[in-house]
């Protein structure tokens, strides 16, 4: 089967750094995506990794280790508006983009 | 234009009704998707269309019937739904269905079956 696991909930303080982990076991691997979803809204694309290593995009960075089936999303200088669900998604070796269990992040002042 | 437009935004239907959800994109994307999302859960893949052909059906009950009339449009026909089918239905599109092609999502249709 396909498994993409994330912690269910995380909390952090404004201005801090938080790391959201994602582990996956899928039928093939053609890239890993991170999406942000605010309550009641559509998911929006944050980052993409297909090779091992770190991709940096402003306050957001994403890391991938294909041998470990592991990724994380790093959010720096947290802001209140970063309170949202963060979804890890894997494109497998068919046409599927499969989402992980999602992590609800709450940022406190 | 990086928008995926879904209509209607909200839909309430009875268990004997027939209704359709519509999705449109003008980005030239050749892969389109339907996802179902229940509250506080991640999106679950239902169908994938690649170059207007159905390539994936994730064992979705036949009361959900997808249709791709052309490369810009994707419909989801609903018939004889159950209350447990109430959810947010998300449409997405991507340039194609492989590799480095992020999916763009519409705002969704919030469906309530009564």
A25-64 pLDDT tens trace: 988 888 999 999 998 888 999 999 999 999 998 999 999 9
What's the mean pLDDT in B101-109? 91
> To which residue do tokens 């739904």 refer?
B81
CB contacts, 8 Å: A33 with chain B: 102-103
Residue A96 and residue B56: Cβ atoms within 8 Å?
yes
Instruction: Please say if the pLDDT value at position B40 is more than 90.
Output: no
Q: What is the pLDDT of residue B112?
A: 97
What's the mean pLDDT in B74-88? 97
Instruction: Please say if the pLDDT value at position B99 is more than 70.
Output: no
Peptide bond before B13: cis, by omega within 30 degrees of 0? no
Q: What is the pLDDT of residue A105?
A: 98
Q: Give CA–CA dist B62/B79, Å, rounded.
A: 9
Instruction: Please say if the pLDDT value at position A20 is more than 80.
Output: yes
Q: Touching check for A97 and chain B: CB below 8 Å?
A: yes
CA distance B81 to chain A (A): 22
Q: Give CA–CA dist B75/B20, Å, rounded.
A: 7
Q: Touching check for A7 and chain B: CB below 8 Å?
A: no
Residue A87 and residue B42: Cβ atoms within 8 Å?
yes
CA distance A98 to chain B (A): 7
């Amino acid at each position: 089967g396909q498994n993409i696991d994330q912690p269910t909930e995380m909390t952090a303080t404004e201005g801090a750094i938080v790391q959201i982990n994602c582990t996956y076991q899928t039928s093939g691997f053609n890239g890993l995506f991170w999406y942000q979803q605010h309550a009641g809204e559509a998911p929006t694309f944050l980052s993409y990794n297909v090779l091992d290593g770190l991709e940096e995009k402003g306050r957001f960075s994403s890391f991938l280790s294909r041998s470990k089936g592991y990724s994380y999303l790093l959010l720096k200088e947290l802001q209140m508006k970063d309170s949202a669900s963060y979804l890890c998604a894997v494109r497998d070796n068919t046409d599927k983009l499969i989402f992980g269990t999602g992590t609800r992040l709450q940022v406190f002042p | 234009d990086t928008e995926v437009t879904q209509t209607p935004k909200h839909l309430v239907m009875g268990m004997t009704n027939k209704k359709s959800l519509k999705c449109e994109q003008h980005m030239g994307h050749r892969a389109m998707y339907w996802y179902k999302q229940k509250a506080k859960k991640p999106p679950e893949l239902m169908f994938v269309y690649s170059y207007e052909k159905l390539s994936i059906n994730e064992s979705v009950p036949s009361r959900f019937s997808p249709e791709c009339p052309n490369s810009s449009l994707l419909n989801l026909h609903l018939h004889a739904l159950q209350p447990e089918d109430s959810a947010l239905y998300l449409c997405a599109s991507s340039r194609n269905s492989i590799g480095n092609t992020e999916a763009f999502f519409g705002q969704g249709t919030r469906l309530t079956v009564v």
